[in-house]
Amino acid sequence: MKAEEEIRNIFGQLKNLLLAEQEMGSEPPFIPSEVRSYLEGSVSAAHVHNHELAHPDSLEALRAFIGECTRCRLHKGRKHLVFGEGSSQARLAFVGEGPGREEDTAGRPFVGEAGRLLTRIIKAMGLTREEVYICNVVKCRPPGNRDPETDEIETCIPFLKQQLTIIRPEVVCTLGRVAGQGLLGANFRITLERGNWHSHENIPLMPTYHPAYLLRNPAAKRHVWEDVQKIMTFLGLEVKKND
Ligand code: SF4
């Protein structure tokens, strides 16, 4: 039996219990208000689903829904859940892997050394951080900056997908292997497939290297600039020659 069916059964039994109590004229048992409103039929099924709002209509509503999330083990070591930041009307969304130490401390994405490099890339495109949207595949820092594990990604990625559904950017730019695999599937190979257009939910998607990789391999900056120029051309941004 699916978990959601089990939950419905439990709620159904609770409802019967409540009705029986009322019929016998007994004092109703204490029931939390959220459970009570569900029994009264005013709470949508989305509230008992673990991961997805039925119709997320704003980033604020999604953030509230995620709450102080404990849905995967990454919550245990985090200081802050890093939801993402930028414009809800962004034409371009960057998707990274997950928060590092500085992001975990600040509660903001891409604020460490790699983040400063991403900020320079965004500026070189003629944009600001406030004009784009920046987020990650997982919202809590993996311990020791290890890669997020498959089950952690599977648990968290519905939230990223909902962010992209809400923002509906004209282009998504994934940064690094993990983000590429998260949105394009496990077969995605960064070295072979970066720089080529893909799509996520009919949104054009350009995969490129993660800025942290560029810090270790400065020679790869040239490739990222080529990829970024493709995005600029797509968005009709002026491509400068000397950056
Ligand atoms: Fe929840 Fe995502 Fe953090 Fe896991 S990584 S605890 S799913 S917000």
Which atom of ligand 1 lies at the shortest distance from residue 66's CA? 8
Calculate how far, in angstroms, residue 160's C-alpha sits from the geometric centre of ligand 1.
Answer: 11
Asked whether 160 lines ligand 1 (CB < 6 A), one says: no
Confidence of residue 57 (pLDDT cuts 50, 70, 90): confident
Strands 203-208 vs 171-175: parallel, antiparallel or unpaired: parallel
Interaxial angle between packed helices 113-124 and 221-235, expressed in degrees from 0 to 180 and rounded to the nearest 10 = 40
Angle value at C-alpha 127, between 134 and 120, nearest 5 degrees? 75
Task: Give residue-wise pLDDT tens across range 60-96.
Answer: 999 999 999 999 999 999 999 999 999 999 999 999 9
Average pLDDT, integer, range 162-184? 98
Q: Contact, 207 vs 162, CB < 8 A?
A: no
Asked whether 137 lines ligand 1 (CB < 6 A), one says: no
Calculate how far, in angstroms, residue 49's C-alpha sits from the geometric centre of ligand 1.
Answer: 15
Ordered domains of the chain (ranges, CATH): 2-55 (no CATH), 81-235 (3.40.470.10)
Q: Tell me: pLDDT of 117 over 70.
A: yes
Asked whether 81 lines ligand 1 (CB < 6 A), one says: yes
Confidence of residue 31 (pLDDT cuts 50, 70, 90): low
Task: Give residue-wise pLDDT tens across range 200-215.
Answer: 999 999 999 999 999 9
Task: Give residue-wise pLDDT tens across range 120-143.
Answer: 999 999 999 999 999 999 999 999
> What is the per-residue pLDDT for 27?
52
